[in-house]
Amino acid sequence: MSEQNQAVHDRLAREYSAGFVTEIESETLPPGLDEDVVRAISAKKDEPSWMTDWRLDAFRRWRTMPEPNWAHVSFDPIDFEAISYFSAPRNKPKSLDEVDPELLRTYDKLGIPLHEREALAGVEKPQIAVDAVFDSVSIATTFKERLRDAGVIFCSIAEAMRDHPELVRKYLGTVVPVSDNFYAALNSAVFSDGSFVYVPKHTRCPMELSTYFRINAENTGQFERTLIVADEGSYVSYLEGCTAPMRDETQLHAAVVELVALEDAEIKYSTVQNWYPGDEQGRGGIYNFVTKRGACVGARSKISWTQVETGSAITWKYPSVVLRGDDSIGEFYSVALTHNAQQADTGTKMLHIGRNTKSTIVSKGISAGRSQNAYRGRVRMNPGATGARNHTRCDSLLIGDACGAHTFPYIESRNPSAVVEHEATTSKVSDDQLFLCAQRGIDPEKAVSMIVNGFCREVFRELPMEFAVEAGKLLEVSLEGAVG
Amino acid sequence: MLQIENLHVRTDGRDILQGVSLTVERGEVHAVMGPNGSGKSTLANVIAGRPGYEVTEGAVRFDGIDLLALEPEERAHHGVFLAFQYPVEIPGVSNMEFLKAALDSRNAAAGEEELSAIDFMRRARGAADRLDLNPEFLKRGVNEGFSGGEKKRNEILQMLLLEPTLAVLDETDSGLDIDALRIVAAGVNAYASPDNAVVLVTHYQRLLDHIVPDYVHVLVDGRIARTGDKALALELESNGYGWLADPAS
Ligand SMILES: Nc1ncnc2c1ncn2[C@@H]1O[C@H](COP(=O)(O)OP(=O)(O)O)[C@@H](O)[C@H]1O
Ligand SMILES: [Mg+2]
């Protein structure tokens, strides 16, 4: 290894600024999982009986399912009996004004505004409505009234079940069926909260919506469920952010996100995932085993996933699109950065069913330290997908010699008129690039961050402006010490 | 300003420079010539601090400072600039962003204020214009998909913006057609002043028709075999390097 790259490595010791713990009284179920726990969760949420049955059905199926073992990751078996499946702050607020100040300070520290202050005179800042999920429950949702005026429903999924049961019942589990996979089944049994969005016909959601997930409690799993329905001709852009305290024990996060786009509707879903990645030795961190899928149900609908993944000890995540409607469009733009002992197996699935459906996949994997970073993508053209097209571009960037990048593309085409294109490259942050920067006076840390940001450019430009800036900074922090 | 004394450099187990001494003062233009593989780039790289070279003997001082003790970026902050023989690409990083980062770090090191985006743009556009480069060029990725000639002009663009006190140009003339050569030479001539110095590394004398050096040094087998003025370059052009090869002659 060259001197410069050695220095990069020495300084890759990252700082995780969201790693603090909030001291707050919580109500937590004892560890372990059986039908009584599932019933207890359902009862805590005052759910209707159909929902309790739905959960129990999921639980029974989960019990019979094997854990997936095909991903390019390795970890000790998870003891599902050692996890607590529900934790919530004891004082549940009824309105924004009642939110525990300690919680408000937590979100303030994380830079998430849980207030609805109007834009300061002269400063036009785009407003973002936030649903804040703390451990197992949603603690606050902002700008609800303004959204309601536009007809948009944005609330926690628990509230939606109470106030809009017909919508939840109609769509929940239609995109990710209860028995889709091991973690999705587990989530269906025990999910505690998450966000619900419904955008009515021909409505453009007047602001960005976002959910901010925060794991705080120890030894608890976090299982959120997000459901977004965009009715005919509507548009919504949705952002998701995540952080967790630094702890020595690993924590399980198994979320399910379902998106439904009806005719001519468009959903743009962006994630900046910064769960605690564990320490340099690979102790602690979040196991992020997430099922995200969107269904382009209607003709000419569009679903676009953009993700920036820098956190988690292990990431297992394949945001996918089922392209059912004719002329529908699916997109996946991803940056996944792994460092130290992190492992990521992430990618997407594009399932082309309708005619003239189109999908675009742009994946940028960055590996540093001893980390392993795999892209896994499946593109399937069904017999009816006449005129369908996919373009996949998959780039890997290596920093140092101890990390690994892997690409697993699966292509299945059952329609001769469908076109599937796949490009893949692997490159390194080269000593020559670092020396060029140094010779121009740019210090190695700044140089690496600039080179990595350049590598991610195509993905960052898909993010909403404010998120793009945040993502750039996040990469910079994550790569702190990447060169010397 | 620059004193190189008895410099010995080894790389990959081979002794490349074997006792190079050279003094460059402000206001001077020096040309370093010599056959391929004689160590010209090695000399330029060691001045700039490229990793991978071991200095086994000798010293390099810059305004009295021990240059060899400094990191490459510190040398840059002191005003040392190297125009690369083979400029590398940095995909996705725009030329503009790169130049701004370079200028910002230099200004920060000098304790000067950061240039505003508007002032920066004005200067960058001005420099591009002087090198007959389309301003769109600034938006492209650093050297990404540039032609050989564009890469070399881009090096000079960086020099014009960073205003170094010592500019070492390594084979900046190679790969340029005659028009581009004229443009680049005009840029270098306009930049050269009593406050700075230019070291031109080349093995063609044609560049020296456009930038007239005060001194010409001939590097053969890791030593300066001969120093003269422009006439020496012309002599090399007609006689080649062979007559200088044997140090005894
Ligand atoms: N980084 C390096 N590693 C190994 N050999 C090198 C390296 N740099 C230069 N050399 C060798 O040193 C000698 C001088 O090279 P160089 O300084 O590039 O000469 P010039 O620029 O005069 O053509 C050549 O034989 C070259 O192969
Ligand atoms: Mg050379």
Q: For A54-63, A292-301, B110-119, which range has the lowest pLDDT when averaged over its residues? A: B110-119
Alpha helices per DSSP H over A174-230: 182-190
Q: Write out pLDDT tens, residues B184-209.
A: 999 999 999 999 999 999 988 888 99
A97 vs A48, higher pLDDT: A48
Least confident piece of the model among A85-89, A364-368, B88-92, B192-196 = A85-89
Residue B9 in this model has a pLDDT that exceeds 50: yes
Residue A453 forms contact with B (CB below 8 Å): yes
- Which residues is B181 bridged to in the sheet? none
Interface touch B76/A439, C-beta < 8 Å: yes
B48 vs B71: CA distance, rounded Å: 9
Q: What band does A10 get if pLDDT is binned at 50, 70 and 90?
A: very low
Q: Which amino acid is at A56?
A: L
Cα gap A43→A40, rounded to integer Å: 5
Residue percentage of chain A with pLDDT more than 90: 43
Strands (E), B154-196: 166-170
- Assess whether pLDDT exceeds 70 at residue A23: no
Tell me what pLDDT residue A13 has: 41
Question: Looking at residue A185, what is its pLDDT?
Answer: 94
User: Which residues on A lie below 8 Å from B88 (Cβ)?
Assistant: 430, 432-433, 436
Length of chain B: 249
Q: How many interface pairs between A and B have CB atoms less than 8 angstroms apart?
A: 84
Q: How far apart are CA B32 and CA B216, in angstroms?
A: 6
* Average pLDDT score over chain A: 83
Residue B79 identity: G
Q: What's the confidence (pLDDT) of residue A310?
A: 83
Question: pLDDT for A228-267, tens place per residue?
Answer: 999 999 999 998 876 655 666 777 888 999 999 999 999 9
A450–B52 CB contact, under 8 Å: no
What does pLDDT average to over chain B? 92
User: Is A221 a residue whose pLDDT tops 90?
Assistant: no
* A436, A443, A458 ranked by CB distance to B88: nearest: A436
Q: How many helices (H) and strands (E) does chain A have?
A: 12, 23
A423 — contact with chain B (CB < 8 Å)? no
Give SS3 for B208.
Answer: helix
**Shortest Cα–Cα distance, B175 to chain A (Å):** 20
Is the pLDDT reported for residue A120 higher than 60? no
Q: Which of B95, B98, B143, B144 to mutate to test the interface with A (most CBs of A within 10 A)?
A: B98
| Ligand 1 atom closest to the CA of B85, numbered from 1 | 21
What interface predicted TM-score (ipTM) does this complex get? 0.95
**Mean pLDDT calculated for residue range B52-62:** 96
Ligand 1: distance of its center to the CA of B41 in Å? 7
Kindly state if the Cβ of B29 falls inside 6 Å of ligand 1: no
